[in-house]
Amino acid sequence: MRKLLFLLLFSPAIAAWSQGTPQDSAWIRENYYKIERYIPMRDGIKLFTTFYIPKDTTEPHPILLTRTPYSCAPYGTDKWRNFHTGYLRYYLREGYIVASQDVRGRWMSEGQFVDVRPFIKDKKSPSDIDEASDTYDAIDWMVKNVPHNNGRVGVFGISYPGFYSTMAAASAHPALKAVSPQAPVTDWFMGDDFHHNGAFFVMDGWAFYSSFGKPRPQPTTVGPSGFDYYTKDNYKWYLETGALKNIMKLTGDSIAFWKDLYAHPNRDAWWQARNARVAMHDIKPVMLVVGGLYDAEDCFGAWNLYKAIKTQSPATNSHLVMGPWYHGEWASNDGTHLGNVQWGSNTSFWYQNNIEIPFFNYYLKGKGEEPKLPAATVFFSGENQWRQFDRWPPRGSQEQPIYLQADGGLAWDAPKNKSSFSEYISDPAHPVPYTKDVHFFRTREYMTDDQRFASRRTDVLTFQTPVLQEDLTLAGPVVADLKVSLSSTDADFVVKVIDVFPDDFSYTTQGPVPVRSHDNAASYPMGGYQMLVHGEVMRGRFRESFETPKAFTPGKVETVKFAVPDVAHTFRKGHRLMIQIQSSWFPLVDRNPQKFVDIYTADDSDFQKETIRVFHDADHSSRIILPVLKQ
């Protein structure tokens, strides 16, 4: 899993997992050549850039650029990327000039690297640089110096390169015609990678930054080393390592961003400046925002970047595509399933051939008719169908609350009984695991994992509907509106939306896809499967403000209200809707000491058990507000 995580995070440009042929590789070598250049920025810093250029000079060619902190390797004009192993080879068949650039301060580029470098709206001098200005300068140099280009540039990238794609859109260079931020890092405090609603995603953060964050004193082609662990069991390692201050000791003073993260526990000005959405005003190029419904890293970024563009730049020609994918799966060869759950078709292949390639071909080459893309193209799991909408959330989506009941049920009617609650003891010494499996690096499949292991714990509350008599389709954000009381002063709340399959369910008899021998579903019992549709955590101290945290008053009933990222899922007739509530999700999320202290500097002795009550009575009706799509 460590190698897979490194591939997803550190592969240059677009991940390439589909299988090509030797003929593809031979054709590329015969029809392209490679050059490497240092491109000067306005402040004198030079950025290392590689170009793969068609030998054909009978027509001009568009430029397709990815800016990355993960290296544009391999370095040297005699060493080539394996374009033939992924769908990027089709862009070469179309005659694109493919460019990749090491961003400022990474790998072979000069300058100082700054994570999610803040956007500067009003630049007054050449020293006022950001990723938008670096992109502008890079594009300006390319259209003037790269041979046989047609003066049209597109930018795309996945994950962190998705952030650089967002900043490219803000550059306003006239040659930039089309941009596709894919799973873009957008807001590292509210919902991407490092935090969700202020809760620290310690496992992903540490696995990534313990290597990525190591300083690079000078341009280099050698990547950073990772961290050596004494066990392959992540639950064991993070629990035994203990409080976050103990993890800080492992970095020493070497990792600047890790120290900054600890120094800013609340959403202060430092974090707000690193919200990429602030740059999304008056965007000129056509935009294609892409993401995965089951992306464990940057699902928030895709949904919310698109919404920001529509709100702040309504005249921009912008589009959203959300498929049933893990992080970057739309660029892979196999988009047929995730873990045990089948999608009924190769969704990645469909996206590549019906949306992305035609999108860039038209706007950069003028090839074919203008794509008739709606505002939103979204795959609905459960029914396993693509749907198209003229807005997102769609017009037919209506907020409809469903209420927690005393008997563990969910009902559309509010409870009428008096003084009713469910309670559990949350113990940081025995936190709820995020998956039943034993492994070290976070799995991507947990996003659709069977939740029966959690239902069986006494520190997880479970509420479910009766068997559905008709399909229930959700389209948009789910909002948890909980009435709770604590025996102490702080807690986290995890809410999970779950699809409970019928007891007699199997893909061979009831599903849309026949079981294939190599799929997990062939051996996994799908009858009664509790499929995680989406889950989210809220750090309780931020229930009123992410800038100014507030302690709970022990014994007082208070409201904790927060959104679960958008859902696009149909609960089929015969299934059930389940909601689970818990206060740890370990080690996906760091443990809350359950005491109102600075969690980043808390001692191991600060962690304590806590009794948590979730109310469901006439005066304190906990509810889940569902975005029900009317058919």
Tens of pLDDT, residues 169-210? 999 999 999 999 999 999 999 999 999 999 999 999 999 999
- Could you read off the pLDDT of 84-98 as tens digits, one per residue? 888 999 999 999 999
Where residue 18 falls among pLDDT bands split at 50, 70, 90?
very low
Helix (H, G, I), strand (E, B) or coil at 628: strand
Could you give the dihedral angle defined by the CA atoms of residues 213, 219, 220 and 221, in that order, rounded to the nearest 10 degrees?
Answer: 100
Cα angle value 212/213/214 (rounded, 5°): 95
Residue 85: per-residue pLDDT: 83
Q: Would you say residue 28 lies in a domain?
A: yes
- Could you read off the pLDDT of 429-451 as tens digits, one per residue? 999 999 999 999 999 999 999 99
Token pair listed for 230: 């004494």
Helix (H, G, I), strand (E, B) or coil at 403: strand
Alpha-carbon span 202 to 589, nearest angstrom: 6
Same domain, 500 and 622: yes
Q: Would you say residue 229 lies in a domain?
A: no
Range list of H helices, 111-219: 131-145, 160-169, 202-212
Same domain, 324 and 441: no
Where residue 524 falls among pLDDT bands split at 50, 70, 90?
confident
Same domain, 496 and 371: no
Which domain does 167 fall in, by range? 2-187+274-389
Domains held by the chain: number: 2
For the chain, what percent of residues have pLDDT higher than 90? 88
Using an 8 Å Cβ cutoff, are 474 and 400 in contact?
no
The pLDDT of residue 12 is above 60: no
In whole numbers, what is the pLDDT of the chain averaged over residues?
93
Residue 508: per-residue pLDDT: 61
Using an 8 Å Cβ cutoff, are 586 and 593 in contact?
no
Q: Would you say residue 294 lies in a domain?
A: yes
Q: Would you say residue 106 lies in a domain?
A: yes
Question: Quick one: average pLDDT of 53-64?
Answer: 98
DSSP sequence for 71-121: --PSPSTT----GGGSTTHHHHHTTPEEEEEEPTTSTT--S---TTPPP-S
Q: Would you say residue 245 lies in a domain?
A: no
From 329, 359, 389, the end of a domain falls on 389
Q: Phi/psi of residue 324, each to 5°? A: -85, 55
- Could you read off the pLDDT of 123-149 as tens digits, one per residue? 999 999 999 999 999 999 999 999 999
Instruction: Give the DSSP H or E segment for 299.
Output: helix 299-312
Where residue 20 falls among pLDDT bands split at 50, 70, 90?
low
Alpha-carbon span 324 to 377, nearest angstrom: 12
Where residue 226 falls among pLDDT bands split at 50, 70, 90?
confident
- CATH number of the domain enclosing 445: 2.60.120.260
Residue 5: per-residue pLDDT: 34
Strands (E), 227-310: 286-292
Residue 39: per-residue pLDDT: 98
Same domain, 425 and 456: yes
Same domain, 287 and 163: yes
Q: Would you say residue 193 lies in a domain?
A: no
Question: Quick one: average pLDDT of 558-579?
Answer: 97
Same domain, 380 and 304: yes
Token pair listed for 187: 């807001």
Same domain, 44 and 76: yes
The pLDDT of residue 225 is above 90: no
Query: Closest Cα partner for 478 from 434, 431, 538, 531?
Result: 538
Q: How far is CA 544 from CA 66, 264, 549, 555, in A?
A: 39, 18, 7, 18
Where residue 10 falls among pLDDT bands split at 50, 70, 90?
very low
- In the Cβ-directed half-sphere of 186, how many Cα atoms lie within 13 Å? 28
Q: Would you say residue 162 lies in a domain?
A: yes
Range list of H helices, 170-266: 202-212, 234-241, 244-251, 256-263
Same domain, 50 and 116: yes
Same domain, 304 and 178: yes
Same domain, 12 and 114: yes
Instruction: Give the DSSP H or E segment for 8.
Output: helix 2-10
The DSSP output letter for 353 is I
Alpha-carbon span 186 to 143, nearest angstrom: 28
From 340, 364, 389, the end of a domain falls on 389
pTM of the model: 0.94
Q: How far is CA 631 from CA 157, 350, 399, 465, in A?
A: 35, 25, 14, 20
Same domain, 290 and 427: no
From 355, 389, 423, the end of a domain falls on 389
- CATH number of the domain enclosing 118: 3.40.50.1820
Q: Would you say residue 345 lies in a domain?
A: yes
For the chain, what percent of residues have pLDDT higher than 70? 94
Same domain, 381 and 421: no
The pLDDT of residue 517 is above 70: no
Could you give the dihedral angle defined by the CA atoms of residues 608, 192, 330 and 212, in that order, rounded to the nearest 10 degrees?
Answer: -90
Q: How far is CA 253 from CA 250, 373, 384, in A?
A: 9, 49, 49
